[in-house]
């Protein structure tokens, strides 16, 4: 998996940062996918500067209905249709997201020529495709807001085909059964347990993508033990009270959460437009004093998991 940051500014765009949008490229060999988390104004323009096309999107997750996370959605949906794309698309978001999509399409005389499903979610598991699941956690913001925890299931270990061949086991269906961990009986009566021929399972990746939030108890569960945590750092530590009063977090609070949750890495994003490059680096330094494994998101940064 890899993350591609399309927008990293809070509230309004700046000359160097667009408003919030993050792509997740699943990069799975047999079940690839491209997911979008939030869709601030201009997101489709940002995608034009990447190798990724809106037609490849199959899921969009909206954290909340504030404009800097949502106003790019109608344009992206319509452009996707005008390009002749027929791949289904599912949108997940809080109550009101369906009304927003339906109303903007209706009032603008627009439509989609592809299957579009809009699911209004509550806290809990919102999807599970057998390879990974996505769980929504309610956060602390003036409007209903969620963070999303993406967890891959552990991948089965590789089959020791060389050992099986040396034992005279014919390749084909028997290999597949053994790879699935099943027990098989050979023609000569030998019984083989697939688990004896599998390498240890590979742990699946865990990722937490936060919406806007002031500190809250559910944040710890959302981020616990993740490989990568993406969290807002709207304001610096000295403005913490102001940040919290508007449902946001400071740099210090983002870093402390990553430390408490035992996350492997933290990426801070959603920086106030008051911060230029120097100011942004100051927020990063505040985080790194508490949690050294912190990175600062920039538009078009690609971060592998």
CB atoms within 10 A of CB 127: 17
C-alpha 150/C-alpha 143 separation (Å) is 23
Q: What is the bridge-based pairing of β-strands 34-37 and 21-25?
A: antiparallel
Residue 23's beta-bridge partner residues? Answer: 4, 36
From 38, 68, 212, 299, active-site residue: 68
**Three-class secondary structure assignment of 251-298:** HHHHHHHHHHHCCCCEEEECEECCCCHHHHHHHHHHHHHHCCCEEECC
C-alpha 22/C-alpha 5 separation (Å) is 5
C-alpha 161/C-alpha 197 separation (Å) is 8
As given in the structure block, the two tokens for residue 86 are 């027929």
Is 212 part of the annotated catalytic residue set? no
First to last CA, the chain: 6
Q: What angle do CA 152, 223, 14 make, to 5 degrees?
A: 100
As given in the structure block, the two tokens for residue 229 are 């945590």
Q: Which residue carries 């997201």 as its tokens? A: 97
C-alpha 91/C-alpha 100 separation (Å) is 12
Catalytic residue list: 68
């Amino acid at each position: 998996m890899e993350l591609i940051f399309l927008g990293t500014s809070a509230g309004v765009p700046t000359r160097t940062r667009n408003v919030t949008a993050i792509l997740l490229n699943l990069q799975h060999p047999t079940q690839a996918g491209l997911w979008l988390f939030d869709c601030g104004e201009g997101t489709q323009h940002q995608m034009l500067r990447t190798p990724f096309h809106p037609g490849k999107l199959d899921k969009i997750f909206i954290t909340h209905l504030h404009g800097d996370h949502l106003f790019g959605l109608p344009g992206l949906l319509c452009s996707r249709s005008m390009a002749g794309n027929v791949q289904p698309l599912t949108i997940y978001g809080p109550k009101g997201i369906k009304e927003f999509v339906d109303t903007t399409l209706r009032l603008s005389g627009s439509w989609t020529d592809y299957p579009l499903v809009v699911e209004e979610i509550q806290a809990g598991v919102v999807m599970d495709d057998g390879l990974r699941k996505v769980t929504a956690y309610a956060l602390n913001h003036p409007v209903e807001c969620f963070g999303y925890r993406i967890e891959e299931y552990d991948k089965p270990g590789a089959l020791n085909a060389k050992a099986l061949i040396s034992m005279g086991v014919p390749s084909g269906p028997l290999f597949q059964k053994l790879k699935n961990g099943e027990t098989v009986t050979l023609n000569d009566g030998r019984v083989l347990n697939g688990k004896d021929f599998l390498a240890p399972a590979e742990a699946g990746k865990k990722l937490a993508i936060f919406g806007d939030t002031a500190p809250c108890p559910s944040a710890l569960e959302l981020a616990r033990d993740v490989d990568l945590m993406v969290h807002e750092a709207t304001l610096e530590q000295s403005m913490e009270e102001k940040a919290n009063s508007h449902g946001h977090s400071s740099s210090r609070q983002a870093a402390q959460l990553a430390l408490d949750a035992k996350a492997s890495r933290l990426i801070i994003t959603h920086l106030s437009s008051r911060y230029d490059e120097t100011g942004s680096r100051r927020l990063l330094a505040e985080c790194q004093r508490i949690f050294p494994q912190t990175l600062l998101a920039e538009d078009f940064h690609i971060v592998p998991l």
